[in-house]
Amino acid sequence: MSYLNPSTGSGSRTSRMTFEFGRTYVVRPKGKHQATIVWLHGLGDNGSSWSQLLESLPLPNIKWICPTAPTRPVAILGGFPCTAWFDVGELSDDGPDDFEGLDASVAHIANLLSTEPADVKLGIGGFSMGAATALYSATCFAQGKYGNGNTYPVNLRAIIGLSGWLPGSRNVRNKIEGSLEAARRASSLPILLCHGSCDEVVPYKYGERSTLVLNSAGFRNLAFKKYDGLGHYTVPREMDEVCHWLNARLVLEGCR
């Protein structure tokens, strides 16, 4: 599936950029369909690997949608092309953020969720770069618009980020505080962030700092879980936390 970035900037180089998304994998609910969550893989991965893990979770009433990111040159890999939700260079507090790529991916995710039944609760989760994209989606939901100004169309009920960070963190607080409606949306959106203390790819400090930034911007319904000794991967106890948290926040029937 391709996505043409709907940038409205006059004469913008990025207004014609097209992103080709890969295959989407779907895990159907085994029980009553009560929630749909789009789950986003990390850099260089695809939707298939996570769909297999998610299918094994004791959450029979969740439908999981696992898309595959576009293949694009990635700065942190010296321009080598691989699957990535957006371009990223070295992680730093003052580094540039690829808002064009982020907006394209977040719009693709919203399109996947927009066809779900009206009575189904919607969420976004992910690992590493996928977690970063999920958190950016949270800020778009709160503001009611993408970074390019187009309307964000989906009512989110849950955000999960494992081993990730918040892109565009420098400006989030100002954007949320400037609108009463944005502040209301931010305060009502449940967010779970998990991070390993020994993460060698996305250092723990970025997960911790993202939590502080989101909280200061008005995202009050936020839980941050630190996993001592955990590197840049997930473990059963972390996924157990995800299951318990989703069950509590979405009040799913028949989940243990």
CB 234 within 8 Å of CB 127: yes
DSSP-assigned letter for residue 128: T
- Could you tell me which of 15, 113, 28, 109 has the C-alpha nearest to residue 69? 109
Which segments in the chain show pLDDT lower than 70? 1-17, 93-95, 251-256
The question of whether 228 is a catalytic residue gets the answer: no
pLDDT tens readout for residues 198-234: 999 999 999 999 999 999 999 999 999 999 999 999 9
What is the model's pLDDT at position 141?
Answer: 97
Distance CA(44)–CA(215), nearest Å, equals 30
Phi, psi for 194 (deg, rounded to 5): -125, 140
Q: Which of 15, 49, 232, 244 is catalytic?
A: 232
Task: Collect all residues with Cβ–Cβ distance below 8 Å to 80 and sequence separation of at least 6.
Answer: 73, 74
What is the model's pLDDT at position 175?
Answer: 85
Q: Which of 45, 98, 103, 199 is catalytic?
A: 199
pLDDT tens readout for residues 31-63: 999 999 999 999 999 999 999 999 999 999 999
Q: How many residues belong to the chain?
A: 256
CA angle 182, 213, 86 (to 5 degrees): 85
Q: Which of 105, 128, 137, 210 is catalytic?
A: 128
What is the model's pLDDT at position 159?
Answer: 98
What is the model's pLDDT at position 252?
Answer: 62
What are the structural domains of the chain? 2-250 (3.40.50.1820)
Crossing angle of helices 129-143 and 180-188, in 10° steps, is 140
The question of whether 197 is a catalytic residue gets the answer: no
What is the model's pLDDT at position 173?
Answer: 87
- Could you tell me which of 84, 143, 152, 86 has the C-alpha nearest to residue 114? 152
The question of whether 2 is a catalytic residue gets the answer: no
